[in-house]
């Protein structure tokens, strides 16, 4: 088994596939373990793999004092910045992303976690036993559609686990166990666990679905303590900060001094690509986040509001061309695609203001196909940043191992239509000179 650094340093043959664009197998990390350290404590859609973050920091963040991931999701970039002792900020509009990023970058001594966990599981077990003997009344919360997504007994067990976690006074420790609780909520729900969108288990299979909440929580908590132990060993003496912030990248941010922006933005609007809000909804409800805020995630995400017309001021000929081609087939779809790029352009202007001169922007992004038209998102990004005076240094094309990304996904809102997702993604490197 190769070590992570051997993977990163592997020498391979590059194949030119476009202007400053190369197919580079050294970015594939086909057999690498992507769940190392705290990267493995919670699933999240379209995660950047740690190996890509680490190699990017090594190549373009050597002298960086501050790294920003403006679409930080579960915090992969922030974890990798922390272990390199580089300060980092992360933005996201999903409160689950902020919780995960915070917990993943906060080293906690595993011995302390084990002590808390011993008491926690004993308390939970005792309460569950009382409940099963009919000695404890448990009231199921009034979350929207709760009985559709959870069996009544499952909900009652979740209430007991939750109450014991919420009693922990130390906020960092409480948040740590909330992450295992969030994974548990998802697993024990009536959703098909292989999907990121919310689909219910079919009725005929549901009657045999009797997940054990306690066992599930214990399994995730134990795994997470082991993951934290790995991270703690490396990160305990690192003084750099990691600051995940609930922030919409379409608004101005109050941070400065960024030397490297490293990020994997959404690759399209959430309605037809990845619905981050939908993925997180049940966990966030169980963690008492405001329902309106939860419902807003997919609406305020990039491309959440379809453009009213095909008029725009984005400086990209490639975009014009694809919008025109899609509009010939379906004008509404063209406006939806355009809305994503209008938001992306606005976000890019904000990001440009935050980046120091000589800084780098690295986007990890896949290209999708809509109505049979392949959208060269990576090349559109390049044209936008060139219009700000950036130099396009290079784009590397990496293969995405199949197990993590289906080649075709069906957007929930359009029956029968599939959007080709990609077996490849691009690492686009831009230099502010
Ligand atoms: C591809 S994911 C990032 C995954 C991340 N690299 C990881 O490893 O987990 C894109 C993220 O962008 C966030 N997002 C979408 N629109 C946003 C906006 N307007 N402002 C900030 N974040 C946004 C989504 O909530 C999602 O978490």
What angle do helix axes 276-286 and 95-104 make, rounded to 10 degrees?
Answer: 80
Tell me if 266 sits within 8 A of 274, measured CB to CB.
yes
How far, in Å, CA of 295 to CA of 292, rounded?
5
Nearest CA owner, ligand 1 atom 26: 73
Tokens of 422: 């990609």
Strand residue runs (E) in 129-239: none
Q: What is the CATH number of domain 4-99+240-276+301-432?
A: 3.40.50.150
Query: Which pLDDT score is estimated for 418?
Result: 41
Distance between the two ends of the chain, CA-based, in angstroms? 40
Residues of the chain with pLDDT under 70: 1-11, 402-422
Tell me if 302 CB under 6 Å of ligand 1.
yes
How far, in Å, CA of 38 to CA of 55, rounded?
18
Tokens of 428: 């686009």
Q: Name the DSSP letter for residue 375.
A: -
- Ligand 1, pocket-test mutation among 97, 278, 281, 365, most atoms within 8 A of CB: 97
Tell me if 47 CB under 6 Å of ligand 1.
yes
Tell me if 44 CB under 6 Å of ligand 1.
yes
Edge to edge, what strands does the sheet with 424-432 contain?
Answer: 15-18, 21-23, 390-399, 424-432, 355-365, 258-263, 66-69, 87-92, 242-246
Tell me if 217 sits within 8 A of 184, measured CB to CB.
yes
How far, in Å, CA of 64 to CA of 46, rounded?
26
Find, among 343, 326, 427, 425, the residue nearest to 384 by Cα.
Answer: 343
Tokens of 161: 């686990």
Query: Which pLDDT score is estimated for 239?
Result: 98
Helix H or strand E encompassing 77: helix 76-83
CA dist 427 → 27, 135, 308, 395 (Å): 9, 58, 31, 5
How far, in Å, CA of 156 to CA of 148, rounded?
14
- Ligand 1, pocket-test mutation among 93, 268, 273, 377, most atoms within 8 A of CB: 93
What value, to the nearest 5°, has the Cα angle with vertex 185 and ends 174 and 173? 10
Q: Which residue carries 């002590």 as its tokens?
A: 115
- Quick count: other Cβ atoms within 10 Å of Cβ 386? 14
CA dist 13 → 22, 154, 265, 399 (Å): 10, 53, 28, 14
How far, in Å, CA of 124 to CA of 137, rounded?
14
How far, in Å, CA of 137 to CA of 345, rounded?
54
Tell me if 266 CB under 6 Å of ligand 1.
yes
Query: Which pLDDT score is estimated for 423?
Result: 87
How far, in Å, CA of 281 to CA of 189, rounded?
12
DSSP secondary structure string for all residues of 201-232: PPHHHHTT----HHHHHHHHHHHHHHHHHHHH
Nearest CA owner, ligand 1 atom 25: 94
How far, in Å, CA of 160 to CA of 213, rounded?
10
How far, in Å, CA of 93 to CA of 300, rounded?
8
Tell me if 48 CB under 6 Å of ligand 1.
yes
Phi–psi pair at 68, nearest 5 degrees: -120, 130
Tokens of 329: 């087939």
Query: Which pLDDT score is estimated for 11?
Result: 64
Nearest CA owner, ligand 1 atom 16: 301
Query: Which pLDDT score is estimated for 196?
Result: 78
Boundaries of every domain in the chain: 4-99+240-276+301-432, 110-234
What three-state secondary structure class fits 398?
A: strand
Q: What is the CA radius of gyration of the chain?
A: 22
């Amino acid at each position: 088994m190769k070590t992570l650094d051997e993977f990163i340093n592997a020498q391979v043959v590059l194949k030119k596939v476009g202007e400053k664009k190369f197919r580079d197998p050294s970015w594939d990390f086909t057999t690498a373990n992507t769940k190392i350290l705290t990267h493995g404590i919670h699933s999240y859609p379209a995660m950047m793999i740690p190996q890509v973050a680490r190699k990017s920091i090594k190549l373009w963040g050597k002298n960086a004092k501050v790294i920003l991931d403006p679409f930080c999701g579960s915090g992969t970039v922030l974890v990798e910045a922390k272990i390199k002792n580089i300060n980092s900020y992360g933005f996201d509009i999903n409160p689950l992303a902020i919780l995960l990023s915070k917990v993943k970058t906060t080293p906690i001594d595993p011995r302390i976690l084990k002590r808390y966990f011993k008491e926690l599981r004993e308390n939970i077990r005792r309460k569950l036993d009382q409940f099963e003997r009919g000695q404890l009344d448990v009231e199921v919360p009034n979350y929207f559609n709760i009985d559709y997504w959870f069996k009544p007994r499952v909900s009652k067990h979740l209430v007991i686990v939750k109450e014991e976690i919420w009693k922990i006074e130390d906020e960092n420790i409480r948040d740590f166990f909330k992450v295992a609780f969030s994974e548990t909520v998802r697993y024990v729900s009536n959703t098909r666990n292989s999907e990121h969108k919310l689909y219910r288990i079919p009725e005929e299979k549901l009657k045999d679905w009797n997940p054990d909440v306690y066992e599930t929580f214990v399994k995730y908590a134990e795994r997470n303590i082991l993951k934290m132990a790995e991270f703690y060993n490396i990160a305990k003496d690192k003084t750099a900060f990691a600051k995940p912030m609930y922030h919409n990248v379409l608004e101005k941010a109050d941070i400065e001094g960024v030397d490297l922006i490293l990020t994997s933005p959404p690759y399209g609007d959430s309605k037809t690509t990845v619905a981050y809000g939908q993925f997180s909804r049940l966990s966030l409800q169980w963690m008492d986040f405001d329902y309106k805020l939860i419902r807003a995630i997919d609406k305020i995400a990039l491309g959440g509001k379809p453009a009213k017309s095909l008029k725009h001021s984005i400086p990209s000929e490639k975009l014009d061309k694809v919008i025109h081609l899609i509009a010939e087939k379906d004008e509404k779809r063209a406006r939806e695609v355009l809305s994503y790029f209008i938001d992306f352009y606005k976000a890019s202007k904000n990001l440009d203001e935050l980046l120091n001169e000589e800084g780098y922007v690295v986007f990890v992004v896949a290209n999708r196909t809509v109505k049979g038209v392949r959208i060269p998102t990576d090349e559109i990004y390049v044209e936008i940043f060139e219009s700000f005076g950036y130099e396009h240094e290079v784009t590397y094309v990496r293969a995405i191992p199949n197990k993590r990304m289906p080649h075709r996904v069906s957007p929930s809102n359009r029956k029968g239509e599939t959007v080709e997702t990609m077996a490849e993604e691009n690492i686009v490197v831009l230099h502010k000179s």
